[in-house]
Structure 1
Amino acid sequence: MGFAVTAGLLLAAAVAITGLLFFGMIFASDSCGTSAGTGRFCDDSGAWMLVAMFGPTVTLAAAVVTVVLGVVWARRPWTSLALGVLVYATGPALALFTVFG
């Protein structure tokens, strides 16, 4: 029961963080026309902008798959939950690194 509550709370927090980052990344390109925009985020291809926008969503899905597979196949719920948190944390970290350099 404790695992389910902890996993649910972490999932709710991750969905909220992902939503806020996605919303923020929509407006992050507004500074690309000024000197305040970072070179990596404001390149001409737009690839880094897509990484920053969809990275947290992709890592959230990967984290959910990691936790589910760890619980079902490996029978290690707490270890898979910790690994899922680490997998998810790479997405927001990559997005923030992309925008703020």
Structure 2
Amino acid sequence: RECLSRNRSRWLVELKSAFQDKNYLYIAMEWVPGGDLLRLLIEKDIFTEAETRFYIGELIVAIDEMHKMHYIHRDIKPDNILISREGHLKLTDFGLSKEVKII
């Protein structure tokens, strides 16, 4: 939740609201209508070289943004990479993310 609340990056899913009761934490996040990268890979079966370059390039930028915020994602996999309406990547599922202290 802390990682999401500090997020000002277009490469990370935006936190809309968060609240909790005595049993649960509720998090409302941005709707990303393109689905996840795993679903796209299953549909296409294989990415072209150009698609692979595009997605890997965007993933590198997204990870770099997290690192600039002093967080490590620790659970990057195709189902935690969402595709925006415009076709760009957004990281999600920050449950295993860890803040790192810079010395």
TM-score normalised by structure 1 residue count: 0.33
If each structure's strand is expressed as a fraction of its own residues, which one has the higher value? 2
TM-score normalised by structure 2 residue count: 0.32
Larger Rg: 1
